[in-house]
């Protein structure tokens, strides 16, 4: 799935150590707001120091975020996680989903008749 908009908040990073492997982990959350008539916001997270550094998300940037949604249960309650797997910056001056208009060629002039005022004999098909 994808969501596009401007970064309006960068939340503090969370870190910890995995109980199963003992490896350290880091998660950073961001809030993006789209530009619809009634703007919607999405809070997504980027998991892993390498991805956080690779995406290098800054306040006010226009982004296209590709993400997955997953749910997990904890103490009989369910929680959703929106995790980004690709983040692309929107090019300056680019418009979203608006087709570009191509110039319409002028009407072609009528072809000149064949010499002698006859029509093209190849056009005189019997069917």
The CATH number of residue 36's host domain is: 2.40.50.140
Residue 104 falls inside a structural domain:
no
Residue 121 falls inside a structural domain:
no
Residue 100 falls inside a structural domain:
no
Residue 117 falls inside a structural domain:
no
Residue 123 falls inside a structural domain:
no
Enclosing domain of residue 66? 2-88
Q: Give pLDDT tens digits for 18-70.
A: 988 989 999 999 999 999 999 999 999 999 999 999 999 999 999 999 999 99
Residue 120 falls inside a structural domain:
no
How many structural domains compose the chain? 1
CA 57 to chain centre: 15
Residue 105 falls inside a structural domain:
no
Dihedral pair phi/psi, residue 42, rounded to 5°:
-135, 130
**Model pTM score:** 0.69
The neighbour count for residue 88, using CB atoms within 10 Å, is 13
pLDDT at 99: 47
Residue 35 falls inside a structural domain:
yes
């Amino acid at each position: 799935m994808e969501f596009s908009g401007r970064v309006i908040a960068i939340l503090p990073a969370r870190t910890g150590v995995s109980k199963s492997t003992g490896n350290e982990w880091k998660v950073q959350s961001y809030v993006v707001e789209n530009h619809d008539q009634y703007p919607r916001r999405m809070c997504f997270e980027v998991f892993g120091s390498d991805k956080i550094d690779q995406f290098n998300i800054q306040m006010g940037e226009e982004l296209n975020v590709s993400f997955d949604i997953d749910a997990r249960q904890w103490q009989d309650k369910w929680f959703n996680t929106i995790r980004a797997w690709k983040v692309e910056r929107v090019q300056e001056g680019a418009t979203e989903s608006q087709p570009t208009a191509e110039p319409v060629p002028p009407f072609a002039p009528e072809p000149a008749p064949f010499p002698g005022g006859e029509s093209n004999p190849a056009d005189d098909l019997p069917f």
